[in-house]
Structure 1
Amino acid sequence: MTRFAEFVRGAATAGRLVVQPRMGFGELDRMRAGLTAVRDCGATTVGTVTLDSYTRVGDYPSARRALADGAELNGFPLEAHGTRAVRALLAEVACDDFPVQVRHGSPLPLELFRIMVDAGVDATEGGPVSYCLPYGRVPLAEAADNWARCCELAAGAERPMHLETFGGCMLGQLCPPSLLVALSVLEGMFFREHGLRSLSLSYAQQIHLGQDLEALAALRTLAAEHLTGVDWHITLYTYMGVFPRTPIGSFRLLEDSARLAVHSGTERLIVKTPAEARRIPAIEENVEALEFADSIAGQAAADCATAHCPPTADTGLLAEARTLLGATLALGRSTGAALVAAFARGVLDVPYCLHRDNAGAARAVIDERGMLAWSAAGAMPVTVRHSDLLCTAPVTAARLTGMLAFNERRYDREHTVGALLRSPA
């Protein structure tokens, strides 16, 4: 078990939710200060080093120039700083009680994996589908081959790495959870197939608490069925779509994600800050969000102890995710080959994803229950609810825009209405 996985497992055994920021800064001193602040704050945390946009796409000369010129980068330029500096940074900040994960966003990350392995990085994340389809034009088959070599490199390191699949976060929103669950498990199987034995499976908070609880339960069930012999845990992402505009609305959404994590038995939560939709959050804002989420997690754990847990939906999500898994695995002798074939045939099809290897025939909507549902299936073995008028109505540009802003409007409106109700006459 890696240091990262061991820490998360120990916290879960002690009944604590691990909270983690999205955080990355260009300068070594600022990155060190950010990691130190996260380590020393009043929450059970792991650290994050998020890479910058140049480094993610392999444009290392631009990253080096920006660093030399003192330009603002939107993350940490791993290659520009070099193996020795990264190893020294981790030696100074990371420890058994504070492991650090490098997050990158690259569809072809082999060179980054070489640097991470040489620097002794304990954990990273991504996947052949989840870091290919949303983030560029790289052919899926090429990404799958590159990621296979990355996994084998990470598995063969002196201290094998922990790898988190990003498959449960496709495009961040408007993807029915059965597909998110299936992709998360499939990428986990891909990682195991290429030698890794310490994994985490992701899921991004969507728009309906009961449906999210159902999805996380399905993810745990399918992981237990398909990832035997692997140490794994679940990672939940605070809602990744359009965030509320008001600070209180943003904190209410973060509160709901922390409660969802605890009520579902999730081991790790990646948080967002109210500032993140507008700019790179300051170190202090990251710490505030982490401590807030940790506090809410404690309250939610007390609620569960007194049986005040919210109900889980029962929409057949597990059966649908299992069908997607089976239909995909039947198409190839390896998980990687099956994934490439499934997207080529439209058996897997991410709604509203414009990548050329995605069929683009599937569509999703917010249905009459306030849940995510399929309005068009293409070649996918999923169910369209023809009895629901919202599922069969056309998805116009105006309707799509409205759905994308669903949580933004809901959380800001509830805050505004609540404030009016509390104000004196």
Structure 2
Amino acid sequence: MNEGRRTDRFSAFVRRSAAAGRLVVQPRMGFGELDRMRAGLAAVREARATTAGTVTLDSYTRCHDFAAARRTLRERPRDLNGFPLLAHGSIAVRALLGETASQDFPVQVRHGTARPLRIFRFLAEAGVDATEGGPVSYCLPYSRTPLAEAVREWGTAVELLAAQPVPMHLETFGGCMLGQLCPPSLLVALSVLEGMFFREHGLTGISLSYAQQVHQGQDLEALAALQRLAAERLAGTDRHIVLYTYMGVFPRTPIGSYRLLESSVRLAVHGGAQRLVVKTPAEAHRIPTIEENVAALEFSHTVAEAAADAPDGVRPTETGLYEEARTLVDAALELGDTVGSSLVAAFAQGRLDLPYCLHPDNANRSRGTIDRHAMLSWSRAGAMPVRTADAGDPAWPAAEVDARSLTRMLSHNERRFDREERTGSLLAGAS
């Protein structure tokens, strides 16, 4: 970017780390009490890894039930499933960040709300480095807020971030829609569209997300498509790619969990992502401790260093994923005068359609499936301009997804990583 003085601290840190060949790893972490949150950030900062900090908000705050957040913080703080940001107040949060965050350890607040304006005002007042979400990705899966209302409020909220003396970094969650069973072309398209929405409202320090799915080669193809499409549609932005370790049903065994985490690190390194949001073996059972988060970060760092020196051996698939994602982006943009109006119209007409998403503004006529190649594809396209699994091979018709097959697909990675034999891994010989 030419406006170096307006580059946000989070973007600059990730860029420096990438230039030095270091993958930034980041936990999902949020605790109710101020002292515990401080201890968590300090532990992540001191981990033997290149880390960014995370403050994940609690569900009361996400749903704007601030009175319940304050009451629970006062009476039963350990019952909170995240950090009650507004209940603590901006002075306390600014002090927390002053003690823990720095240019070499920026902190991101993760919130999960479809209507972020009040939270974003607080983040700006408290001096937070970065946040995330998006008008689609934090509306359709997590709320019943009308999409048009979410788009309007997100536009105002993004402009607020862009107007700060040092603009806040914003990560689109569009590449993580539903966490699983959404074919990658739509994830790539939504990530780019939300990035374009952020830029439309004046913000140029952004990151584009993608969630690991079920096939390493397809995920490599998706990451390449995301980078190519972003280069075409988001020129002039200070951007990077963030990968998420698989967000669906996690393996039940520690060895299976670490196998899955290892595969996501290798995917990030070989797929060109600059940042990885990790999970821990505790994910299948409960919220992880500080120590478990640190262990996962340090393990990921070790895998990343080894992966950088050794070819992975997995090649990207060649399924036309970039072309399909580009077609979805164009199909949406031709429907409106702005990116925001285009998103609203595209979902209203089913030109964008999230499988298995029950929000009233989503057509829900599409279905994703794990096909005979063990890749995610469309078994039903609805009104979207995409190919179904049987389009290239009528001899293998795409089976309609029923409750039994859906349950089996949701546990695909759990079964795969808990059962598979592993060779040539950092975990070889572990038991």
After TM superposition, is the score higher than 0.5?
A: yes
Q: The residue matched to 1:240 in structure 2 has which SS?
A: coil
- Return the offset for 1:279: 1.2
Q: Tell me the amino acid that sits aligned with residue 189 of structure 1.
A: M
Q: The residue matched to 2:300 in structure 1 has which SS?
A: helix
Equivalences for residues 206-355 of structure 1 within 5 A: 206-304=213-311, 308-355=312-359
- Return the offset for 1:122: 1.1
| Structure 2 counterpart of 1:13 | 19
Structure 1 Cα separation of the partners of residues 103 and 218 of structure 2:
35
| Structure 2 counterpart of 1:67 | 73
2:54 corresponds to 1:48: yes
Q: Tell me the amino acid that sits aligned with residue 413 of structure 2.
A: N
- Return the offset for 1:384: 1.0
Count of residues in Structure 1 that have an aligned counterpart in Structure 2? 418
2:371 and 2:398 in contact (8 A); partners too: no
- Return the offset for 1:36: 0.1
Structure 2 Cα separation of the partners of residues 400 and 223 of structure 1:
32
| Structure 2 counterpart of 1:125 | 132
Equivalences for residues 194-205 of structure 1 within 5 A: 194-205=201-212
Structure 2 Cα separation of the partners of residues 324 and 138 of structure 1:
24
Rate the CA distance shift 1:383–1:216 in 2: closer, same or farther, 3 A.
same
Q: Tell me the amino acid that sits aligned with residue 26 of structure 2.
A: Q
- Return the offset for 1:385: 2.8
1:238 and 1:257 in contact (8 A); partners too: yes
Structure 2 Cα separation of the partners of residues 141 and 338 of structure 1:
10
Instruction: Report the aligned-residue RMSD.
Output: 1.6
Q: Tell me the amino acid that sits aligned with residue 369 of structure 2.
A: V
- Return the offset for 1:310: 2.0
2:30 corresponds to 1:24: yes
For 1:122-157, what per-residue CA distance to the aligned partner results, in whole angstroms no more than 9, with x for missing partners? 100000000001101111000000100110000001
Q: The residue matched to 1:181 in structure 2 has which SS?
A: helix
1:263 and 1:309 in contact (8 A); partners too: no
2:93 corresponds to 1:86: yes
2:132 corresponds to 1:147: no
- Return the offset for 1:189: 0.2
Rate the CA distance shift 1:389–1:236 in 2: closer, same or farther, 3 A.
farther
2:183 corresponds to 1:176: yes
Q: Tell me the amino acid that sits aligned with residue 395 of structure 1.
A: V
1:407 aligns with one of 402, 406, 413: 413
- Return the offset for 1:391: 5.1
Q: The residue matched to 2:48 in structure 1 has which SS?
A: coil
Structure 2 Cα separation of the partners of residues 111 and 258 of structure 1:
35
Normalization by structure 2: what TM-score? Answer: 0.95
For 1:345-381, what per-residue CA distance to the aligned partner results, in whole angstroms no more than 9, with x for missing partners? 0000001111110001001110010000101111000
| Structure 2 counterpart of 1:368 | 372
For 1:92-131, what per-residue CA distance to the aligned partner results, in whole angstroms no more than 9, with x for missing partners? 1001110000000000010000000001111000000000
Rate the CA distance shift 1:388–1:164 in 2: closer, same or farther, 3 A.
farther
Q: Tell me the amino acid that sits aligned with residue 208 of structure 1.
A: H
Q: Tell me the amino acid that sits aligned with residue 410 of structure 1.
A: R
Normalization by structure 1: what TM-score? Answer: 0.96
Q: The residue matched to 1:315 in structure 2 has which SS?
A: coil
Structure 2 Cα separation of the partners of residues 270 and 263 of structure 1:
16
Structure 2 Cα separation of the partners of residues 189 and 372 of structure 1:
25
- Return the offset for 1:392: 2.1
Structure 1 Cα separation of the partners of residues 91 and 18 of structure 2:
33
Q: The residue matched to 2:284 in structure 1 has which SS?
A: coil
Structure 1 Cα separation of the partners of residues 14 and 302 of structure 2:
18
Fraction of identical pairs, as percent = 67
Q: Tell me the amino acid that sits aligned with residue 280 of structure 1.
A: I
Q: The residue matched to 2:243 in structure 1 has which SS?
A: strand
Rate the CA distance shift 1:191–1:391 in 2: closer, same or farther, 3 A.
farther
2:4 corresponds to 1:3: no
1:39 and 1:46 in contact (8 A); partners too: yes
Structure 2 residues not aligned, in runs of 5+ = 1-6
Structure 2 Cα separation of the partners of residues 192 and 270 of structure 1:
23
Q: Tell me the amino acid that sits aligned with residue 214 of structure 1.
A: E
1:384 and 1:391 in contact (8 A); partners too: no
2:80 corresponds to 1:76: no
- Return the offset for 1:413: 1.2
Q: The residue matched to 1:375 in structure 2 has which SS?
A: strand
